[in-house]
Every structure is written in structure tokens, then in C-alpha cells.
Amino acid sequence: MQQTLTQALDFLKKNHLKVTKQRKALLTYLLDHQDQYHDVTLVDEYMRQEFPGMSHNTIYRNIREFEEAGMVEQQMNGDQARVKYQCDFAHMHHHHFICQNCGRVTELEECPLDVFQEQLPGYQIDGHRVELYGLCPDCQKAATA
């Protein structure tokens, strides 16, 4: 589901986060790229081009606040943090397939937690994240063409 800037700003307000021109620009960037994770350094670079006086700390703090509010999702790729706009506010708990070629992110509807819980009788699972990797249909077609 593609989110709009108006929806994003409303979500920002609902989470008691002030709407500033910098946060609006950050949300616009994330919305324009919501189908892929992007290196936080690229987001930082974009924001510093738009707002030359903006510090790295402010950018990273805003990303962290957006994540805490549930507006963005983060993942680690080696030692590099990556971020994308939350793809589905109706289903905050979800998992992804990530194309290893183009980076497109596809939301998965099912959660396999019950399967794991069955394999761990007596254990308490406090959290999980499932990400599947491979090639999307478009990249598979391109590879065979």
C-alpha cells in the first residue's frame, strides 16, 4: 500500500512529533523510495544537500524517532543501517521478501512464528524478524533474457 505525504504527516502528529520542513522533506524522500531499503548514509546525504546546516545527529535522531513511532523500518546490511518507510500501518507486524538484485521489498502476509514456537517447547520468544531473499519475477525474467 502506497502511503501519501498527508497520511504520513497525520501519523507524525498522532505520535506527538512536531511537523518541521526537515521532517516533511525526510518523509517525502522515504515515501518516494518506500519500495526499497536505503542506506541511512544516502538518506543523510540527501538531507544534508537539502538542508546544508542540518547535522548528522539531527538526521539520525529523526530516523530513530520515526522508527520508535513505527513510521520506518530498519535493517542491518553488514555494518550498514538501512531504512524504509513502513509499508503497511494496518499490519504493523509483517515480514518481507527482498530482491537481491533490484532491492524491491514485497510484504509477506503470513507470519511463521507458530512453526518456530512448536519447535521450541518451553521457550519464550520475545521477538523475531523474518526476511526472505532471492530474485523478484522482473529480475528473473531479465536474467533469462
Instruction: Give binding residues for Fe cation as ranges.
Output: 93, 128
User: Which pLDDT score is estimated for 92?
Assistant: 58
Domain with CATH 1.10.10.10 in the chain: 5-85
User: Which pLDDT score is estimated for 89?
Assistant: 53
Domain 5-85 has CATH 2.20.25.160: no
State yes or no: pLDDT of 42 exceeds 50.
yes
Q: What is the pLDDT of residues 100-119, one digit of tens each?
A: 888 888 887 787 878 888 88
Percent of the chain residues past pLDDT 90, beyond the cut: 34
Instruction: Give binding residues for Zn(2+) as ranges.
Output: 99, 102, 136, 139
Average pLDDT over residues 24-36: 90
Domain with CATH 3.30.1490.190 in the chain: 95-144
Instruction: Give binding residues as ranges.
Output: 93, 99, 102, 128, 136, 139
| pTM value surpassing 0.75 | no
Could you tell me if 86 and 71 are in contact, meaning their C-beta atoms sit under 8 angstroms apart? yes
pLDDT band at 33 (very low <50, low <70, confident <90, very high): confident
H helices within the chain, ranges in order?
5-14, 21-32, 40-50, 56-68, 113-118, 137-144
Domain 95-144 has CATH 3.30.300.100: no
